[in-house]
Amino acid sequence: MPPKSQSAIPEDASPLVRRLGRSILLTSEEVKFLETMQVNRAEVDKGDEFIHDGDPLRLTFLVRSGWVIRYKITSSGRRLIIGVSLPGDFIGLHVNFNNSSIFSASALTKASVALIEPVRILEIHRRFPVLASGLDWMTVRHSNILSEHKVSLGARTAAQRILHFFLELWTRLEQVDLANAKGFELALTQEQIGDCMGLSTVHVNRSISRLCKENLLRIDKGVVSFPEVSRSVSFADFDKRFLMEFSTKSGVPEPINRIASY
């Protein structure tokens, strides 16, 4: 049987295809499957909650555009944002579809979300083993991000937490061509950053002011940048390995983003 021909990633490819296409050569059949898997979509207005804590979770969601937050609200009414989902990110990729959701999710900005039935995910594992490995990698990567956030909450100062979080967002957005060497557009308010980092809004404001004063961070009209990247990486204790891209090659993965050269 002749080998399948490799295809270039179309310019209008979805963030998911762009992300996987950076690391592996996708065939035309694989690209078509990934794109048609996203045909059923929902447009979610800013602030609208589309997953409710405790409700049945029957679908996998894939963010196509916009920013989405996942969060828990305690019995006392306090909200903790447990994750920010960006374009190309799955929500509930490997869930138990007989159970209910253990978190809520809402659109931080106006967002487009693909609604994917479980059978489509299972079909990937049956027909496309390399893509299946890529999905498993995305689950591990998601776990890595949660682990880094736990380290930040327990072992980093407020300023380090925030700077580490911004460096993470920069890396993740760059992986889907939504950021560049100059930085990225921030969609989070200081209150929401506090809900991500376990900090008060006042503490967030003071920490950001300190970081900007020390030239570790710059925020200009909503655009976040890092004037001295190597200093920012060192101060934040940012280890890029937890965001390494998927690869089918053996050995140590290559650096994957603008901050890899520090």
User: Measured between alpha carbons, how far is residue 62 from residues 16, 86, 89, 106, 230 in Å?
Assistant: 8, 9, 6, 13, 33
Distance CA 89, CA 111 (A): 12
pLDDT at 2: 36
Predicted confidence (pLDDT) per residue in 14-45, tens digit: 999 988 887 778 889 999 999 999 999 999 99
Determine how many CB atoms are found less than 10 A away from the CB of residue 141.
17
104: alpha, beta or left? (left if phi > 0; alpha if psi -120 to 50): beta
pLDDT at 248: 63
Instruction: Give the range among 22-31, 142-151, 219-228 with minimum mean pLDDT.
Output: 22-31
* Percent of residues, the chain, with pLDDT higher than 70: 89
Predicted confidence (pLDDT) per residue in 182-221, tens digit: 899 999 999 999 999 999 999 999 999 999 999 999 999 9
Determine how many CB atoms are found less than 10 A away from the CB of residue 161.
25
Taking residues 102-113, report their average pLDDT.
96
- Is pLDDT at 7 greater than 60 in this prediction? no
Taking residues 149-170, report their average pLDDT.
96
Distance CA 72, CA 260 (A): 33
- Is pLDDT at 6 greater than 90 in this prediction? no
- Is pLDDT at 258 greater than 70 in this prediction? no
Predicted confidence (pLDDT) per residue in 243-252, tens digit: 877 766 654 4
Taking residues 87-105, report their average pLDDT.
84
Distance CA 160, CA 175 (A): 23
* Core vs surface per residue 237-256: b (16+ CB within 10 A) or e: bbebebbbbbbeeeeeeeeb
Are the C-beta atoms of 124 and 135 separated by less than 8 Å? Answer: yes
Predicted confidence (pLDDT) per residue in 48-65, tens digit: 999 999 998 889 999 999
CA count, 13 A, side-chain hemisphere, 234: 6
DSSP readout, 143-167?
HHHHHHHHHHHHHS-HHHHHHHHHH
Taking residues 154-170, report their average pLDDT.
97
- Is pLDDT at 107 greater than 80 in this prediction? yes
For the chain, domains (ranges, CATH) are 156-262 (1.10.10.10)
Strand order of the sheet with strand 184-185?
Answer: 184-185, 223-225, 218-220
pLDDT at 33: 95
How are beta strands 111-116 and 104-107 bridged, if at all? Answer: unpaired
Predicted confidence (pLDDT) per residue in 170-192, tens digit: 999 998 999 999 899 999 999 99
Question: Where does the pLDDT of residue 241 fall: very low under 50, low under 70, confident under 90, or very high at 90 and above?
Answer: confident
Taking residues 102-108, report their average pLDDT.
96
Query: In 66-140, at which residue ranges do the beta strands (DSSP E only) sit?
Result: 68-73, 79-85, 90-91, 104-107, 111-116
